[in-house]
Each structure stands twice: as C-alpha cells, then as structure tokens.
C-alpha cells in the first residue's frame, strides 16, 4: 500500500490488551528456573503442568515437585532481585506463601547438598554450562 493511501484511511480503534512486561519477565525467569530445577532434581516435567494438591503431599514424585518449585521461586527472587508479589503471581501462589518458601530455603542453605543443588539450578537456568558438575 502506498503512503498516501494509508494516510487517507481512518484509524481503526483496536483494543490491545495491556501487557505487564515486568510480570512477563518474571514469569519467564521463574519458568526457566523451574525447568532447570526439574532437570537437576530428575523430576518428570509433566508433573509441573498442574498445581500440586494437598492430598499429593508425601508422595515421592510430588515431594520432588515441591522442592523444585521452592528452589525456582527462591532463585527467581534472590538471583534476579524480583519482587515476591510478581513471583507469587507467576507461580500461582500468595505473597505470604512465597515469603514462607523463601524462609524455608534460606533455612536449608546450611546443607552443602542444598547449596550445590541451588548453584547447579542457577547455572542451568542462566545457561552457564561451565558451572554444571
């Protein structure tokens, strides 16, 4: 189309949904960490498609899902300095639940295995292959 024809056309009112780029960015970071955590904990990624339910607590496969989710949330908040409210929205949780999970992971960082796992998840999510052992 020529420029003259385009300028002669009336502007059409197109309603574009507002996109919150910060929330989208946090969701992408969270999901990258979630996938990295699934790989590092050897958890079937299909288990992450639906949110876990209380009745699934105690099952070994779902315990791994809970652990991977906790680590993904923790790393999204701490490694990328993202607000807990954004991470809560991305994870489908409340801000209070995210705060509780952050405290749980922080309390477990005394364990060298936990610390090593967090480092591997962070490296995998960021694409730092040299840091994966």
Summarised one tens digit per residue, pLDDT across range 40-55 is 988 877 776 666 565 5
Contacts for 64 with CB less than 8 Å, ≥ 6 apart: 41, 42, 43, 47
Cα angle 83-96-98, degrees, rounded to a multiple of 5: 55
pLDDT at 74 over 80: yes
Which tens digit of pLDDT belongs to each residue from 84-120?
Answer: 888 888 888 889 999 999 999 999 999 999 999 999 9
Q: How many CB atoms lie within 10 A of CB 17?
A: 4
pLDDT at 83 over 90: no
The number of residues making up the chain comes to: 133
Every domain of the chain and the residues it spans: 20-131
Q: What is the CATH number of domain 20-131?
A: 1.10.1750.10
């Amino acid at each position: 189309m020529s420029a003259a024809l385009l300028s002669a056309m009336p502007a059409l009112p197109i309603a574009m949904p507002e996109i919150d780029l910060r929330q989208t960015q946090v969701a992408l970071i969270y999901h990258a960490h979630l996938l990295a955590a699934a790989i590092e904990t050897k958890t079937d990624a299909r288990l992450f498609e639906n949110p876990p339910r209380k009745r699934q607590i105690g099952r070994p496969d779902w315990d791994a899902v809970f652990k991977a989710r906790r680590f993904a949330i923790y790393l999204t908040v701490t490694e990328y300095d993202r607000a807990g409210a954004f991470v809560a929205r991305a994870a489908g949780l409340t801000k209070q639940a995210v705060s509780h999970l952050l405290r749980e992971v922080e309390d477990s960082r005394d364990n060298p295995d936990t610390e090593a796992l967090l480092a591997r998840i962070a490296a995998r999510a960021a694409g730092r292959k040299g840091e994966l052992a």
